[in-house]
Amino acid sequence: MRALYERYVGYLTAVCSRYVPDRAAVKDILQEVFVKVFGKIEDFEFRGEGSLKAWMHRIVVNDSLKFLRDNGRMKYVDDLPDVEDEPMEGLPDVPVAVVAEMIKALPDGYRTVFNLFVFEKKSHREIAELLGIKEDSSASQFFRARAMLAKNIKRYVKENE
């Protein structure tokens, strides 16, 4: 168990942190995730290299979304002001850690949809079903998140020229 924990805790922390920016909450979620993993490891069905990591990844994402829902942290289109689209010419050289922090700083609804679409490769239909929102709301949240990120990246590049 210790080896499993040590091997995956960093990766699972990073996944959880994409959804939940509060470090204390991430620790709590991961504690629950590992309790689930260790309690249900006999139910895990090996399907080849990477299947254990994928199984744990799915548990972390689901528990992170549950945390956001249970704590009233999911705000969607109607609750937030419009953001103008910020087209970008070429991708500026911005450190990955800076972009990760910009993603963490997005409003919860934006960040959640952005992460599900970009990192989990979910369609807007799947995201809508998962979060209990309309498909159009998912697409709108993604559009707004992308525009806000583009604006923040432009600001960062301008400030660091």
Q: What is the pLDDT of residue 49?
A: 85
pLDDT of residue 84: 52
In this structure, CATH architecture of domain 2-70 = Orthogonal Bundle (1.10)
Q: Tokens in use for 104?
A: 């963490």
* Residue 26 near residue 16, CB atoms below 8 Å: yes
* Residue 74: predicted pLDDT: 66
Give me the residue spans of the domains in the chain: 2-70, 77-159
- How far apart, in Å, do the first and last CA atoms of the chain sit? 48
Residues 26-83 have pLDDT tens digits of: 999 999 999 999 999 998 888 888 899 999 999 999 999 999 988 876 665 444 444 4
Residue 13 predicted with pLDDT over 70: yes
* 77-159 and 2-70 share a CATH fold: no
Q: Which fold has domain 77-159?
A: Arc Repressor Mutant, subunit A (1.10.10)
**What confidence score (pLDDT) does residue 76 get?**
58
Rounded alpha-carbon distances, angstroms, from residue 109 to 3, 105, 117, 121: 35, 11, 12, 17
For the cut 80, the answer to whether the pLDDT of residue 135 exceeds it is yes
Categorise residue 155: left if φ over 0, alpha if ψ from -120 to 50, beta otherwise.
Answer: alpha
Could you tell me the two tokens for 81? 């002001």
Which has the minimum average pLDDT: 75-79, 135-139, 153-157?
Answer: 75-79
pLDDT tens for residues 83-106?
454 555 556 788 989 999 999 999
Catalogue the E-assigned strands of 3-152: none
